[in-house]
Structure 1
Amino acid sequence: MNLIMEPWPWYVSGAAIALVMLLLLLVGKNFGMSSNLRTFCTLCGAGKSSEFFQFDWKSQKWNLIVVLGAIIGGYIGANHLSTDVAVDINPKTVAELQTLGFNSAGKEYLPDELFDSGIWTNPKTILLLALGGFMVGFGARYAGGCTSGHAISGLSNLQWPSLLAVIGFFAGGMVMIYFLYPLIFG
């Protein structure tokens, strides 16, 4: 059964996120996806080789259900509730992305230039993915959380470090896309 629906308006999605954050705040929980990686690694036995992974993972099992829900929800949304595989973005943005080499911009949700199976045959791409993954992992750990944890949970709790982290995330993204990406792929 294919239930095609239009995307939810921002004010419905925003209110739903705010409600979830209020409920988490009331029960004393913090939301963040990177903390799930720590929990998952602990489940797999990483506590035997690193003190960082020695903690009561059972107190975080509720957050693993959040990950499962995100995976299931993403699958349902992409395969049963989407009318189009393209993201509705501004034509000017599409033109700018195409000048950077993203020929599928505005036509697909995931650009072939980044997510095609052929990327695994290019050593430069593999190196960049490994370096980017290391930097994201290190940055999330160094900042005490990931973008979702700081931007959604930390800001809703009015945490000053989260505001600084979110400003840093946005500044880093701007530097990457406007300065580093053209140098690497230009």
Structure 2
Amino acid sequence: MNYILDPWPWYVSGPCIALVMFLLLYFGRTFGMSSNLRTLCAIGGAGKRVKFFDMDWKGQKWNLTVVLGAIVGGMIAHHLLSNPININLSENTVNDLNALGFNNPGQSLLPPEFFSWDSVFTLKGMAILIVGGFLVGFGTRYAGGCTSGHAITGLSSLQLPSLVAVVGFFIGGLIMIHFIYPILF
């Protein structure tokens, strides 16, 4: 077993997440990616036009390290810790993905049908990005946070609204993949 290239087991990664959450709660901080977008908009001066962005962003600078950490961590994981072998998918999953229009399921972690520039720079790709971006932005504002904020911070601090939001995220994901996705693709 190559411990550098294999995914970390739950008994290592889970306690690491729990430790980070304990430290955040201990220091009175919360975690969530959507709050970073608000901070970046406030830094850019959006507070002059929209009251929601009129905030003391300097008190949230620490949270921008989450964005930097996600970017650097993603680059390290991709370039140094990724195992370039094919993904071992079940035959049923491969058949389902082929039926949905994926040419080589399991050959790459990010299917080119979604993540290639050729797919993005089409009318359909741009429409999905714009509508999806709007729905994510609206949804995070309406739900009072994003999936990571509710699922990690909210649930670890036993907040009932976060439990309701996480259940809603899962229901929405199931509806998307079983009903909406087949219509779009």
Shorter-chain TM-score: which interval?
Answer: over 0.9
Contact 2:39 2:60 in 1 (8 A): yes
Whole-Å Cα distance in 1 between the matches of residues 104 and 153 of structure 2?
A: 33
Superposed CA deviations along residues 82-111 of structure 1, whole A, max 9, x for unmatched, are: 122644444432322221112232111111
Query: 1:75 — aligned with what?
Result: 75
1:101 matched residue in structure 2: 101
Partner residue of 2:19?
19
Q: Are 2:34 and 2:145, in contact at CA under 8 Å, matched by a contact in 1?
A: yes
| Deviation for aligned residue 1:157 | 0.6
Confirm or deny: 8 A CA contact 2:112 2:119 kept in the other structure: no
TM-score (norm 1): 0.92
Q: Which runs of 5+ in 1 are unaligned?
A: none
After the TM superposition, list the runs of 4 or more consecutive aligned residues in structure 1 that deviate by more than 3 angstroms: 85-91
Q: Which amino acid aligns with 2:184?
A: I
Q: Map residues 1-186 of structure 1 onto 2, 5 A cutoff.
A: 4-84=4-84, 86-185=86-185
Match of 1:74, SS state, is helix
What is the rounded CA distance, in whole Å, between the counterparts of 2:11 and 2:82 in structure 1?
Answer: 19
CA–CA separation in structure 2 for the residues paired with 1:158 and 1:72 = 30
**Aligned amino acid, residue 82 of structure 1:** S
Of 121-130 and 156-165, deviating more is 121-130
Counterpart contact for 1:5–1:82, Cα < 8 Å: yes
Post-superposition Cα deviations, 1:117-139, rounded to whole Å, max 9, x if no partner, equal 11244212211221111001100
What do the CA deviations read for 1:32-71 (whole angstroms, capped 9, x no partner)? 0000000001111111111111111111111101110111
Amino acid at match of 1:73: G
Q: How many residues align?
A: 183
CA distance in 1, matches of 2:88, 2:4: 16
Aligned partners of 1:85 and 1:109 also within 8 Å = no
**Matching residue's letter, 1:56:** D
- Whether the 8 Å CA contact 1:21–1:156 is kept in 2: the answer is yes
Distance 1:154 1:167 in 2: 12
Shift of the 168–85 alpha-carbon distance from structure 1 to 2, 3 Å rule, reads farther
**How far apart in 2 are the matches of 1:13 and 1:88?**
21
**Mean Cα deviation higher: 80-89 or 112-121:** 80-89
Q: What do you get for the CA RMSD once the two structures are aligned? A: 1.6
- Check 1:88–1:32 CA distance in 2 against 1; reply closer, same or farther (3 A cut): farther
Measured in 1, the distance between the counterparts of 2:86 and 2:46 equals 40
Give the letter aligned to residue 69 of structure 1: G
Where structure 2 has 5 or more consecutive residues not aligned to the other structure, the ranges are none
Cα deviation code 1:155-184 (max 9, x no counterpart): 001100000000111111110110011112
